[in-house]
Every structure is written in structure tokens, then in C-alpha cells.
Structure 1
Amino acid sequence: MAASSRQAGVITGGKPHSSETQFERTREEQDSASGEGYRDYGVNPFVTASEDRLSTFSVDVDTASYTLVRRKLMEGSLPPKEAVRVEEFLNYFRYTYPEPAASDGPLAVHLDAAPSPFTPGRHLLRVGVQGRRLSISERKPAHLTFLVDVSGSMQSPDRLPLAKRALRMLVDNLRDGDTVALVTYAGNVRRVLAPTGMEQKARIHAAIEDLTAGGSTAMASGIELAYAEAMKTLDGGSVSRIVILSDGDANVGTTSHEEILKRIRGHVKEGITVTTVGFGMGNYQDTMMEQLADQGNGNHYYVDSLLAARRIFQEQLGGTLEVIAQDVKLQVEFDPVQVSRYRLVGYENRDIADRDFRNDRVDAGEIGSGHTVTALYEMELKPGAGEGLATVRVRAKRPRGETATERAYRFPANALASNFKDASPDLRFATAVMGAAELLRRSPHADRWSFESVREIARAATVAGNAEREEFLSLLEKARPLLRGVAAR
């Protein structure tokens, strides 16, 4: 995702980022503080529309940051601010975006806006992208290669035992025509199972059940063997995906962050995508797991419970497995006659240079079946703003395609609410999610925002029985005293 416009986390897009964004810490420096690896991508600044009317970024459907932060809060601790990625909070939740019409291709765009409840004189613009949902009969056969970390660090119940339960669940949701291969890595690598069809499901389950943890971590060698297995079933009419289950640590062989990512990049054009599923806490390498998925044209999740595994491998299996649009870029053009300033909230590590929007050689993000992408902008509007205050362009390729197609969506007059209470429940809830993420990552733009306001907005936009949103409300209750403690210091 946007790999060509940034290397190893260095942002090189076309916006004047804050000095905090330019500051990049090495993996070793980050690990010395907590044993975990995160990267600080900074916080997007406001941009004057008359000087730069274009905001360009890669889509992102990852949700790992929200799940990881949820675990931290449920255990009674604030997450490192670097662990909070606003876009992954927003994209964790479901919104009622309209499905693409038959003439729209695989994607549809929804736009709405309302006055900000946090800062007087500002408005929030929501850009929502909905991917077409494929029916079960439309899904291509899936050839999956499970690459499982069985090193000593994976012994605890929230790691390999939970990963095994997640894999069994995934296998039970596959169908005839799908295959599974299984590779493990610790001090050395092992081919546990060659590509095996669903008619031998019991054999696949038994191979997963027999996995045990112990030894050091030869991740790079494991990746090479996983790709070798995936190549055995690669063809133009099916999905080929490697699913890496790990805490992200690597300490044997080629362990350099960049060296491992280079290996992934070398295989992307073969048509094999990568999903990373993170487990564990204490030594978790978030940066490694996120960028393995980015460079492998896939998605990144974190599993803290069996419920989280069910969401990924059962409820959203189509989106997890099958890409419907690749190298998806968004470019939002603000009308400087109507918009004074704007800032994109989140997506700091998805930035793309404006000039590269139509450069089809520049990598960007993938969208799976039924996936949604949500982005929020803070704006300062001029008097009379409304119709056409922004135009959103979406550029995407078909899976394994070489040339992208582009569509434009102009902001309609009726999409601007006169006050925040008149905005749709989805926009209001997304605002609360964004506000919580900004406060948790201690964004300088949220210095005067109220956590109580975030909680009230979320509560008013939550209908009884919506489990996702009710969980978020309970999470806010966990976060409130922890954030108060930070403010008191």
C-alpha cells in the first residue's frame, strides 16, 4: 500500500508534514522502551486550500490498531500513542454506505459533512468507499498457505493456542475447491502440509492441532518456504494468499526489517497476496506485521480473542480473502473558493504525492469483497460553502490488472448538514471514533477536545443491540480514567 511513495516508513508525499512526522525512530529504539515495536508517523497538519487544493492517499482496510488498543485498554493501560492509527479505528466499524450500482464498477463513494462538535468554526467531511459484496458463488477458489510462527515466544495461551483455534475456524469456513498448505518457522522452517483440498479437512485440522511452540524465530526463511508452497497452486482463476500468524518478532537469519520487506516485494507481481494476523503482547512487533501486509498487497489484523478471530475468518471471510480492486488511490480536491483550510485525520503512512495519483506504477491499497474505507477531514469553510466544496476521485485497477480506471464524485449540496445533530448517525458515530483516536494518540489538534463530548456523541449515535458500537462505549469507559491520569500529570 503506497510502497512506492514511501520506503520503510519515510513519508515522501506532497504535503508539508509537521516535524513530528519527519521524526522516524528505528525499530531497536522503539523496542528498548517496552519490548514492542511501533513507528511514529506523526500527525497531518492543516493545509491552506489556495496553496494546495489536493489531498492524495492510498486506501487502507486494516483494523489491527483498533483491536490492539482495545486489548491494552481492557487490561487497564493506555496504548503507546504510536500504536493508534486513526484510519484503522474508523475502518473497524460498519457503516451503511450504498452498494455500487451496476454501472459503478466495484466501488461506490459516499460524501457527507457537518459542523464539527469539537471545534467551533470547523466542519467535518466524511469520504466513504463501499466495495461490492461478492456472493458465495462468485468467490473464486482460494489457495491459502498458512505460515505459523511456532517459536518459543508463541507459547502463551493468547498466541499459538489462539492462532490454532482461529485457523480451525477459517478452515471450517472454506469450501470445495479451496486448498490449504501449512508451513511453520522457529529455529528452522518446516513444511507441515502440502496444498490439501477440503475433502481432507480432517487431515488439515489434525496438522493444525499438532503444532507446538519452541525455539528461536527464522521468519525470513519461513516466508521463502511459504511462497514456494503458494506457487504450487498459483493460477489466473483463483485467489492465492499467504496468511502469516505471528507476534512479528524475528531473531534468526535475515532479520533486518528492510531485508524481509524486500523479499515480500519481490513476490507481489506473481499474484500472491499476504494477510498478517498478530497475536500476543509485551514483545509484539506492530510495525513489522503492518508493513509485511502493506508490501504484500494484503491486510493486517490483530487477534485478541476468539470473537476477533470469528469476525475476520467467518463474518468477513470474503473481504479477508478476495481482492476486488487493487492499487486504490483517493484524491480529494478542495475548492479554494469555498474551503479555507483542511486536514486529513489519519492516513499519515498512506500519503501519496499528488503527482503520482495517475502514475499506475505507484503501489496503493487493496479493497476486498464488501470492504469499506472511511476518511474524515477537518475543514474551515468560507461563507456560502456547499455544492462542490470538494470533488473526490477514485483510481483503481482490477485484480492483477495493469491499467487503472478513474471516477469522480462531486460533493452534493444536500450532503452538508446545517448542524451536527442533523448529521446521519453513521457520520456522528465516525466522529466519536475519530475523536477517541485523536485523544488516545495525544494529537495536538485535539488539545481542547473533550473526552466527555466523545462519549456523548458515541452514545447518541448508538442503537441498542449494535454490539460493535456498544463495545466501543464500554471501551470509552475504560479509557476515561486512564486519560484523566495522563492529563493530571
Structure 2
Amino acid sequence: MSDELKRLERALSSAPAPEAEVKSGHLKAALDGFDQRQAADQESNAEPRLSGEGRDDIRSRPRSPRRDASMNRSLSHSPSHRRPLHRRPSVAAAASLAALSLGLYLLWPQAQDFDAMTGPEPSQDAEMAVSPPRTASKPESAPESTEGERLAIVASKTGPVADQMAGDMPLDTAVVTAVETESKSAGQVTQLAEAPRLSVSRSSSLSSSPSTSLSPSISMEMRGLMPSQEVARIAPLPSPGPSVQVPTATSEAYPEFDASSVRVTAETPVSTFSVDVDTASYAVVRSSLMQGQLPPPQAVRIEEMINYFGYDYPQPDAEAFRPMVDVFASPWNPERQLVRVALQGRAATPGPRSPVNLVLLIDTSGSMRSPDKLPLLKRSMALLLGELNDDDEVAIVTYAGSAGVALAPTGASNTEEIMQALESLAPSGGTAGEAGLSQAYRLAGQMNGEDETTRVLLATDGDFNLGLSDPEALERFIADRREGGVYLSVLGFGRGNLDDAVMQSLAQYGNGQAAYIDSLAEAQKVLVDQLAASLEPIANDVKVQVEFNPARVQEYRLIGYETRALRREDFRNDRVDAGDIGAGHQVTALYEIAPVGSSAALTRPSRYQQGQQVTGGQHDELGHVALRYKVPGESQSRLIETPISPGVTTADSEASFAAAIAGFGQLLGDDRYLGDWGWDEAIALAEASKGKDRYGYRAEAVRLMRLAGGLSDR
């Protein structure tokens, strides 16, 4: 390159000096011709060319208005011009060669870096066409923008593209949106410069090379995704910097509660709670850990983590479910004991089940845009449809800024029609939860028939920002409508604005269950494997009351169930709502107790209570378990009772795994009662008690424990 420049320098120095008058005339003639040709190009909408012969080379280089004004002033004071420009071929050739050489010299390093970053071209014949700007109707009146203003404009145009790279919209949609935005603001049609199609992965950064990186505006500009007037400028690449994960703003809400504490049996011998078959908490915990973060403490509900897993419990004989009670040593303190209270719901009724009416109440608000929300919801519903019978019916109600019926009641056999209605849904607007719930309940009431099960299935991220946004108001709203026999279950999707508190309240007061869907595999578990439990209720308002014997038990604490606690008098009050159980559902609750005289007791007996007598029952019993439930359709509860017999048994694999998950939850939340027992012990216990693990859920739990232990050590 240096030899060429030297030859160019010698050629320029040997050329004869032009006459000022002749030179001025030549330049004016050239500029007049250029203006005439440019006006012709505008009228014919012909695209200017980058390369050509003669004066086309001059037209391909954009000139600023400031430089045009300077030239016009110099020409206005120069003598007349008579001789054409082509009579000086050596000067013209030398000028063209100088401009070309200078351009190659300036652009060559940036082009090399750009090629290294973007990778090879799709084919050898592919070319990147860099077009000069299309001139507006009055270019000389356009003010010259500053560099900061230009970059701000570019950044505003790349917004849709950046949204696509985060997974919010397809690439083609993002590009079109950017162009439409520019066209509307400028009042004219803007063309995209041609470039090879860009394939974007949401997990990759803008720079695919470890040594180079581009700002969003420059990178999109150089890939040909911006309008042509922005493509003409190629900026030097910024220096590389460290990879930083930008924190995501969150407005998630979880139920507020204090972890269960130790109760002195002599002071408070009775513990009462509602059963809980929800599994949302475990899936939320898994979602957080898989994102490399520990879950929020309030998102950890230990009973939902324990009940996420299936256990090998014996089937009931005649009743809707069978209680089972046993006592074994606590894994984190051998001087203390765990009391397991387990319920096994009867299996689904053999043979054809009664028809089911499903109203899919789908949140289509703007907050449902991301791939783990509405797109995942559609694929999850497709799994559900494959499990319905021909005599079942499906309807779809959507709500965003307002509510509407997207699909009237339709036979489940019309899968194509139902799927078309689902695929047509698009996110936009606010979240009018009250309007959507009202519309769904009205439609469900019309569909409900004799000996049929009707359920509203709400799919949302929990963001109720219009209508009834207060949890207590929502509870009253649902409670007023559950008496009609329509159940409400809730499926949560996505993170960032997950309102778990609202979801849990809706499910509790709607006589349904709450689950969180973080993957298609979880949708398979909830909507396919456990569908019978969701569609065939076997017991309503199930309550558990445990009374411990103060002569045998010094203290106790219930692990979990903080949000399900009931008052002692609520147990016999059939007007108080509680959890429901479906066919095949299981419920497990763990109490940790310290026997009287145990060195592991955290409290000491009161001075004036040491000589108290136990009245009624057996003096050697550790306690007594009572359960109340209603048969669906009945208003009066039934009672089941069983004693807690003395004696410590060896924990089987089912009890040990439940204890390991209880320890997992305490390590994530409140671990004050675990002593020196930590992640290594929890992992070892869970690993040793995985059992058959047909679907690998327990093995996954072990992996999550290892991940949580690593995150806790940071």
C-alpha cells in the first residue's frame, strides 16, 4: 500500500498546475451536472450506485450541507469556466485513485474485524451492498445532526430488534417494526439495505468473538438491519469488556409468613391446618435455581415441595382417603423425632368417567409476551387436549384490557378448531382479572350439567392490575361463586412479575389447585400424569387436627403449612373453607417433636405444670390425629380419627426422602433448627432414598440440592 501511495504522490506532483479560472469552471460544470442527475434519480426512484464511471463516483459519496455551502461560495467568486473536465485526464484519474486508495486504507481494518465477528458469508457469491442515502425532497434545509443524536436515533430503531433477541418477537417482525417506526416518524418510505439474513440465539451475546464486541446500535447497523442511510457509516469497534449479566427487574409477590416455630405442648397441645396439594412452590424453586439464583425465601413453602413427589402409600379401603401415622428419628437431630401424617386419596373410578367441562381462562395481557408465558401456555394446552374424551367440552375466555370469549363451548373432539383458537391469541393491554373471571364463571355455569365436572382453568402470570387487584377482594369474589359447583385451578407461567400470592389465594378459595409451569415437562406432569386428580374431586374442605400428649411430648413444630394454618375452633366449623383432594392425591405432613426429658428440647417445663394429669385416651399415646372432610356435594363433614402410637420405627425410603426434601426447604429458608446438618447431609439422604423414581423426579431433586449448595457457598 505504501508503494502505491508513493506512485500516486509522484503522479500528482508531476501534473501541471491548473489555471484557477479553468479549474473553477470545471468544478461548477461538474456540480451542475451532478444536481441535474440527482433530480432525475429522485423522480425515477432509481437507487444511486456505489461504483460507476465518470461522475457516478462523485455522486456515490454523500456531501454534508456545510461542505456544499462552502463550495457554492467559492464558485460564486471564481471566473467563468469554458474547458470541460475530461481535458485533464491525468488529474481526474489521479483524484479518483487517491480517493479509492484512501477509502480502502481506512476501511480495511474495520472490515477485517467485522468479518471476524460475523463469521463467513453464506456463499462466495453473497455481497453486502452499502447504498448511499436517498436524498429527501429538500436536502439542503436538513440540519446536520450531532453524533449523539444520530446514535440515539439508531438506538430507538434497534429497540424492536433487541426485544426479539430477548425472545419477545420473531426476527422478521422486529425488523419490520423498526422500519415502520422510522417510516412513520419521517413521513416517507425507508428501504432496508440488503444483507445476509441474521440468525439470532437468545442465549448468545451480540458479539460472537471473544476479542470483539459491538454496541446494539452499531452491530445492528452493520448487519444491514437498519435503514440504508444509517448503513453507510462504519464505526470502529469498541474495546472488549467483561461479560456482565444484567439483573432483571422483578415485581414478583409471594405470601408473607413467618416460619413455624417450636410450640410447648403443655401450653398449646393442638395444631390445626388445611391440607395442601399445590405444587407451585417446588417448580418456582427449581426455576430460580436453574437460573443460577437462590429462590426468594417467601417462595419456599416446604409442604408444597414435599407433596410435589409421589409416595408409595397404601390405598384406602372404603373411605375417600386413608390416613397413616408413623414416628422415626429426625435426620438432623437423633435426639428428636419426626411424626409423619400421610393421606392417600382413592384412585380414579375405573371405567368411563363423567363428562368434564373446561373453561380455559387465558391471560393475554402484555405481560404474557415472553416465550415462557403465552407461547409455553399454548403448547401446554395442546398436551391437555390430547387427554380429554369426546364428550368433554372446552371453551376459551381471554382477558387483557377487557375480557371476551375466544371460543364458544366446543366438543373436545374438535381439536383443530380449539387449537386454531389458541394459536390466534396474542398478548396486549392490561390485566382485567375481574372481568375475565366473571365471564369465565358465567360460561362455566351455562356448560355445567348434572353429574358433570366443571372447572375453570386460569392460566396467568398472576399480574392482576385492573379490576380486583386486592387479594382479599379476589378471595371474596371467588368464594361467592364456588357454591355453584364450579372449581377453579390456577396455572402460573413465567417469572419477573409472578404474583404467587394471588395465584395461591385464587386456588384455595376456588376449591382447586395451583401449579407453576416452567417447562413442557412440567406441563406433562400436571396436565397429563395428574389429570385424574384435577378432574375428579373426592373430598372437599379437608382439615387435619393433631393433639399431642403433654405427658409424652415436651414440644413440637409443624414443618411447613404456615399459609394453611387454621384456628382450633375452625376444625369443627363446616362453614370454614379448607383444601380439596382429587382422585389419587397424596398429602404428607411432618411434625418434629422432642419427647419429655429429651436433652434436645429447646424449652424447659413450666414449674407449675410438671405434675399435670392426662385425661381421656391412652396415657402412653404420643398424640391423636383427627381428620374432617366433605363428600363433594354434601354440606356436613365426616370425621376420621387415629392415635399416634408410641415407639420409634426405622424410616423407610419414602419417609426418608420426605425428610430430605423437608431439610432441603429449611436450608433454602429458615435453617435455625437444623444445627450442623447441611447440604452434604441432605444430598446424601435424598440420594440414598430415591427408590424406584419412575420419572426421575427424585434424581432431579438431588441435582437441584447440589446446585443450591453451590449457590449458597458463594
Same fold (TM over 0.5): yes
Deviations 1:235-260, CA, capped at 9 Å, x for gaps: 34111110000000022233333322
Kept in 2, the 8 Å contact 1:57–1:347? The answer is: yes
Kept in 1, the 8 Å contact 2:679–2:706? The answer is: no
Candidates 229, 234, 254, aligned match of 2:443? 229
Q: Counterpart in 1 of 2:283?
A: 67
1:477 Cα shift? 1.2
Cα distance in 2 between the residues matched to 1:465 and 1:400: 36
**Equivalent residue letter for 2:470:** S
Compared CA separation, residues 464 and 209, structure 1 to 2 (3 A): same
- Ranked by relative contact order (alpha carbons within 8 Å, sequence separation 6 or more), the top structure is 1
Cα distance in 2 between the residues matched to 1:294 and 1:379: 29
Q: Counterpart in 2 of 1:313?
A: 527
Q: Counterpart in 2 of 1:429?
A: 657
Q: Counterpart in 2 of 1:364?
A: 578
1:386 Cα shift? 11
1:347 Cα shift? 0.4
Cα distance in 2 between the residues matched to 1:395 and 1:57: 11
Candidates 691, 697, 710, aligned match of 1:463? 691
Show the 5 A alignment for 1:106-125: 106-125=320-339
Kept in 1, the 8 Å contact 2:539–2:631? The answer is: yes
Deviations 1:2-40, CA, capped at 9 Å, x for gaps: xxxxxxxxxxxxxxxxxxxxxxxxxxxxxx983111122
Q: Counterpart in 1 of 2:33?
A: none
Unaligned regions of 5+ residues in structure 2, if any? 1-247, 599-617
Q: Counterpart in 2 of 1:474?
A: 703
Measured on the aligned residues, the alpha-carbon RMSD in Å equals 1.9
Cα distance in 1 between the residues matched to 2:641 and 2:328: 21
**Does 2:452 align with 1:238?**
yes
Cα distance in 1 between the residues matched to 2:348 and 2:376: 29
**Does 2:532 align with 1:303?**
no
Cα distance in 1 between the residues matched to 2:441 and 2:692: 46
Candidates 253, 256, 263, aligned match of 1:37? 253
When the two structures are superposed, what TM-score results if normalisation uses the length of structure 2? Answer: 0.61
Kept in 2, the 8 Å contact 1:39–1:287? The answer is: yes
* 1:444 counterpart SS class: coil
**Does 2:608 align with 1:392?**
no
**Does 2:504 align with 1:290?**
yes
Candidates 115, 137, 141, aligned match of 2:351? 137
Candidates 358, 362, 382, aligned match of 1:148? 362
Show the 5 A alignment for 1:28-427: 34-102=250-318, 105-135=319-349, 137=351, 139-382=353-596, 388-413=621-646, 416-417=648-649, 422-427=650-655
Cα distance in 1 between the residues matched to 2:713 and 2:563: 29
Unaligned regions of 5+ residues in structure 1, if any? 1-31
Q: Counterpart in 1 of 2:682?
A: 454
**Equivalent residue letter for 2:559:** V
Deviations 1:322-346, CA, capped at 9 Å, x for gaps: 2100000001121222111111011
1:136 Cα shift? 5.1
Cα distance in 1 between the residues matched to 2:473 and 2:548: 39
Compared CA separation, residues 66 and 405, structure 1 to 2 (3 A): same
**Equivalent residue letter for 1:380:** A
Cα distance in 1 between the residues matched to 2:508 and 2:681: 34
Compared CA separation, residues 398 and 236, structure 1 to 2 (3 A): farther
Kept in 2, the 8 Å contact 1:264–1:296? The answer is: yes
Task: Identify which range, 139-148 or 258-267, moves more after superposition.
Answer: 258-267
1:447 Cα shift? 5.4
* 2:481 counterpart SS class: helix
* 1:137 counterpart SS class: coil
1:138 Cα shift? 5.5
Task: Identify which range, 115-124 or 76-85, moves more after superposition.
Answer: 115-124
Task: Identify which range, 404-413 or 369-378, moves more after superposition.
Answer: 404-413
* 1:78 counterpart SS class: coil
Kept in 2, the 8 Å contact 1:188–1:218? The answer is: yes
Cα distance in 2 between the residues matched to 1:256 and 1:334: 38
1:111 Cα shift? 1.2
Cα distance in 2 between the residues matched to 1:479 and 1:296: 34
Cα distance in 2 between the residues matched to 1:208 and 1:64: 24
**Equivalent residue letter for 1:129:** L
Cα distance in 2 between the residues matched to 1:135 and 1:429: 29
1:178 Cα shift? 1.1
1:446 Cα shift? 3.4
Kept in 1, the 8 Å contact 2:396–2:408? The answer is: yes
Q: Counterpart in 2 of 1:4?
A: none
Kept in 1, the 8 Å contact 2:539–2:629? The answer is: yes
Cα distance in 1 between the residues matched to 2:256 and 2:690: 32
Kept in 1, the 8 Å contact 2:461–2:498? The answer is: yes
Cα distance in 1 between the residues matched to 2:411 and 2:340: 43
Deviations 1:272-319, CA, capped at 9 Å, x for gaps: 111000000111111111111111111000000001000011111011
Task: Identify which range, 370-379 or 107-116, moves more after superposition.
Answer: 107-116
Cα distance in 1 between the residues matched to 2:641 and 2:669: 33
**Equivalent residue letter for 2:644:** F
Kept in 2, the 8 Å contact 1:61–1:299? The answer is: yes
**Equivalent residue letter for 1:440:** L
**Equivalent residue letter for 2:310:** R
Cα distance in 1 between the residues matched to 2:510 and 2:637: 19
Task: Identify which range, 76-85 or 333-342, moves more after superposition.
Answer: 333-342
When the two structures are superposed, what TM-score results if normalisation uses the length of structure 1? Answer: 0.88
Task: Identify which range, 125-134 or 208-217, moves more after superposition.
Answer: 208-217
Kept in 2, the 8 Å contact 1:387–1:411? The answer is: no
Q: Counterpart in 2 of 1:445?
A: 673
Q: Counterpart in 2 of 1:13?
A: none
* 2:391 counterpart SS class: coil
Kept in 2, the 8 Å contact 1:37–1:287? The answer is: yes
Compared CA separation, residues 464 and 366, structure 1 to 2 (3 A): closer
**Equivalent residue letter for 2:429:** G
Kept in 2, the 8 Å contact 1:233–1:240? The answer is: yes
Kept in 2, the 8 Å contact 1:386–1:412? The answer is: no
**Equivalent residue letter for 2:525:** R
Q: How many residues align?
A: 447
1:387 Cα shift? 6.1
Structure of greater Rg: 2
1:44 Cα shift? 1.3
**Equivalent residue letter for 1:81:** P
**Equivalent residue letter for 2:678:** S
* 2:489 counterpart SS class: strand
Q: Counterpart in 1 of 2:16?
A: none
Cα distance in 1 between the residues matched to 2:462 and 2:381: 17
Kept in 1, the 8 Å contact 2:653–2:691? The answer is: no
